[in-house]
A and B are shown apart, each in its own frame.
Chain A
Amino acid sequence: MNRPSPAGRPFRRLYRDRDDRVVAGVAAGIAEHLRVSPLVVRVIFIGLLFGSGFGALLYVAFWAVLPVRPPAGEGEPPRRSNGLQRAALVALALGAVALQFQLRPSFSVDSALVALAVVVALGAGVIWHQTDPLRRRAAATADPSVSGAAERLRVAALVEEPPDRRWFLLRVAGGGLLIIVGIVGILGFLAPGRITLSTMAVGLLFALIALVGLVLAMAPILWRIMGQLREERVARIREQERAEVAAIVHDQVLHTLALIQRSATDPSSVMRLARGQERSLRGWLYGPVGSPNERFAAALEQVAAEVENAYGLNVETVVVGDAGHDERVAAVVAATREALVNAARHAGVSTVSLYAEVEGDALTVFVRDRGAGFEMSTIDSDRHGISGSIIGRMQRHGGVARIRSTPGEGTEVELSIRLVTPAVPGEAAGAGPQTVTVPGEPGLGNTGRQ
């Protein structure tokens, strides 16, 4: 996540760049920060090796304190550095070290001290990096204003349990060992002669005992701090969820209830408000069925909702199976809408049944009301909606519309069509073999471009 600073310029921090690394990405990170070529920084580091290996110390120190740059985006392939260049750089560094020994064959105290300091820094870095994800999480917790923090937090809470406790302990122990070895070594060099192998062993033992004592003393505190962090995180997630529920209740439900109270004398608008709210809450609770532009079932539900909303009607929708969306499906959905609108306008009922079924490549829709009904012979003269928008539309797309109506008993409109795209086996049918449509086949509509 490359979050831009308020001024619009990307926020620049010094990171290690693991994607473009030779050793640990320190040089690449510094180079990116300074906007110079990584090669320049690398050569400078190698040059600094001549100062008793000072370059190595500097490098390790940077490695220990610099955080890894967070990935810029999902799916971005990691950049690989040039293998040849890498080999050349490693050879150059080795050459520098060898040359130094060549120049000063006598055992140099400086370079040994630097080497030991490098060992200490390495150990510290290993331990330091173990705490890194924790620090990042704490930072995210402390800064809820960052957009998307809630999501990140939730994901972090779900995913980011310590991946492997044993690995973690092993690394911390290894880092500690490196630090101890380095410090003992430095002491040995600073006080030559006074420290023998046996006194060193005794010293080490004491150091170890002291360390164990320290760990024992600190463990409960550390444990409590970690527990508090965890609790805080959980509490914050709960708070986020509560806020989301509160937003829904406040923005929608309370508003709808207020409107219902104001229009209490008008049953049809009360009905409309209640149905609309119900639909919205259901969608929120059970999740959306899919995009109306992509799925037949979702498109049908949307049309039913629109008609319910516009005419204060109750559409009892049942959909069995589902299919992708194309021109034919769109035609069926449009004709369904027309049939629903007709029922709302002319049948004089409060409930209409809508049943749709996708079985194999056959798509069938029934719209039924128990309303006024009409004489079939009057269709052509005064029911233009039926002849044009339903029968004609279905015929144009190679489908059939059948209408049965009996005055006083109700009307049923049946729409059926053959799908070009194969039916999606409903969630019940699992992953069965599917026919693949060939893009560019005539009459496919927009299916080839999905």
Chain B
Amino acid sequence: MTGSTGEASAPLRVYLVDDHAMFRAGVRAELRAQPGAAGSPDIDVVGEAGTVAEAIAGITALRPDVVLLDVHMPDGGGRAVLDAVRRTLPEVRFLALSVSDAAEDVIGLIRGGARGYVTKTISPEQLADAVRRVADDDAVFSPRLAGFVLDAFARPDVPVADPELDQLTNREREVLRLLARGYAYKEIAKELYISIKTVETHVSNVLRKLQVSNRYELSRWAADRRLV
């Protein structure tokens, strides 16, 4: 909410964490080539790391705006990086990036503090868009993540402990459903006759619920995978 107002001219500082050097090179080239709103590139890759230790050191030293975080790495993965720097650097936003579509990976990263999740097959335009969105403190949900959340917060058969946190509102559900159907925020806004800003607020609220809710299914997922 702060990033886009004063420093519109300064490019976003992005840090890449992935153990595949080829993939990092590809993403770096793609992000630097993406034209921003003003026509000139608005995203700069300021550093990259291939291991968890490098990543922790690099992120702490450079304090980037956004970290693109691979879920699976040999020495602990994105989750280890998140756990190490999330507390000390709350202003750094994380966007999880993975080839995995497994629910436990997605939910684990989100609950670890990532503000979004996209798969590696995403197009360069969409990735740049997601980076901007996360930098703006919004949430980024891939269709699949939206599906997982709908599944996890499905019909409350049992009374939930905290309705504020453990249930989705009807509006949030509608927004997620449209996300899962492949709609962009702009299209969702048009479909539901609300502003894009409202869509963003709904998605951010869902993200918060996903991160802090203790709903049975979420905690069971986490416990099964020993994530939390």
Q: Is the CB of B181 within 8 A of A428?
A: no
Once A355-B177, A425-B157 are accepted as A-B contacts, the answer to whether A316 and B182 lie under 8 Å apart by CB is yes
Q: Is the CB of A426 within 8 A of B151?
A: yes
Determine if B154 is an interface residue (Cβ-Cβ < 8 Å).
Answer: yes
Contact residues, B127-166 vs A (CB, 8 A) = 143-144, 146-147, 150-152, 154-155, 157
Determine if B102 is an interface residue (Cβ-Cβ < 8 Å).
Answer: yes
Residues on A with C-beta less than 8 A from B146 are 318
Cα–Cα distance between A318 and B106 once the two chains are bound (Å): 14
Cα–Cα distance between A425 and B155 once the two chains are bound (Å): 9
Cα–Cα distance between A430 and B156 once the two chains are bound (Å): 11
Chain A interface size range: 20 to 34
Determine if A306 is an interface residue (Cβ-Cβ < 8 Å).
Answer: no
Q: Is the CB of B180 within 8 A of A430?
A: no
Q: Is the CB of A360 within 8 A of B143?
A: no
Cα–Cα distance between A316 and B147 once the two chains are bound (Å): 11
Residues on A with C-beta less than 8 A from B91 are none
Q: Is the CB of B143 within 8 A of A318?
A: yes
Cα–Cα distance between A314 and B122 once the two chains are bound (Å): 12
Determine if B101 is an interface residue (Cβ-Cβ < 8 Å).
Answer: yes
Residues on B with C-beta less than 8 A from A359 are 154-155
Determine if A368 is an interface residue (Cβ-Cβ < 8 Å).
Answer: yes
Determine if A11 is an interface residue (Cβ-Cβ < 8 Å).
Answer: no
| A348-370 Cβ-contact flags toward B at 8 Å (1 or 0) | 00000101010110000010101
Residues on B with C-beta less than 8 A from A320 are 147, 150-151, 154, 180
Determine if B83 is an interface residue (Cβ-Cβ < 8 Å).
Answer: no
Chain B interface size range: 20 to 34
B146: nearest residue on chain A (CB-CB)? A318
Q: Is the CB of A429 within 8 A of B154?
A: yes
Dominant secondary structure at the B interface: helix
Determine if B217 is an interface residue (Cβ-Cβ < 8 Å).
Answer: yes
Minimum CB–CB distance for B140 against chain A, Å = 15
Minimum CB–CB distance for B93 against chain A, Å = 25
| A388-424 Cβ-contact flags toward B at 8 Å (1 or 0) | 0000000000000000000000001000000000000
Q: Is the CB of B157 within 8 A of A368?
A: no
Residues on B with C-beta less than 8 A from A14 are none
Contact of B157 among A316, A318, A427, A432 (CB under 8 A): A432
Q: Is the CB of A318 within 8 A of B180?
A: yes
Q: Is the CB of B143 within 8 A of A428?
A: no
Minimum CB–CB distance for B147 against chain A, Å = 4
Q: Is the CB of B147 within 8 A of A319?
A: yes
Minimum CB–CB distance for A301 against chain B, Å = 12
Cα–Cα distance between A429 and B154 once the two chains are bound (Å): 7
Minimum CB–CB distance for B72 against chain A, Å = 11
- What is A's interface to B at a CB cutoff of 8 Å? 282, 286, 314, 316, 318-321, 353, 355, 357, 359-360, 366, 368, 370, 412, 425-430, 432
23 contacts between A and B (CB under 8 A): A314-B121, A316-B144, A316-B182, A318-B146, A318-B181, A319-B147, A320-B147, A320-B151, A321-B151, A353-B182, A355-B143, A355-B182, A359-B154, A366-B181, A368-B181, A368-B182, A370-B182, A426-B154, A428-B151, A429-B155, A429-B157, A430-B157, A432-B157
A-B pairs with lowest CB-CB distance, top 5: A353-B182, A318-B147, A428-B217, A355-B181, A318-B180
Identify 6 new A-B residue pairs, CB closer than 8 A, beyond the known A286-B102, A368-B183: A320-B147, A320-B180, A321-B154, A425-B154, A425-B155, A432-B157
